[in-house]
């Protein structure tokens, strides 16, 4: 009888742990889904910013050393 009670207690403990684990997995899944939405949004914003940048021309590159300071 003592062994049956011990087994029942262990089974109950495992069920409680499984329940907590299931809740944790659900919570983490929501966080991952939200982060993926943020990543997707950032990727779209980066693509938009890249489209707004002027196309790099070979002649448009200027070094700051080539420019005269304002007092000259």
Closest to 32 measured CA to CA, from 21, 44, 20, 40: 40
| 32/62: higher pLDDT | 32
Inform me whether the pLDDT recorded for 13 exceeds 70: yes
Q: Give the global pTM.
A: 0.61
CA distance 23 to 30: 11
Q: How far is residue 4's CA from residue 26's CA, in Å, rounded to a whole number?
A: 33
Query: How many residues in the chain?
Result: 72
- What's the CA gap between 15 and 28, in Å, rounded? 20
pLDDT of residue 42: 98
26 pLDDT band (50/70/90 cuts)?
Answer: very high
Type and span of the H or E element at 71: none
């Amino acid at each position: 009888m003592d062994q049956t009670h011990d087994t029942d207690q262990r089974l109950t403990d495992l069920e409680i742990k499984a329940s907590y684990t299931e809740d944790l997995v659900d919570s983490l899944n929501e966080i991952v889904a939200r982060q993926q939405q943020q990543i997707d949004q950032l990727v779209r914003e980066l693509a938009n910013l890249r489209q707004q940048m002027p196309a790099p021309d070979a002649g448009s590159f200027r070094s700051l050393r080539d420019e005269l300071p304002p007092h000259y």
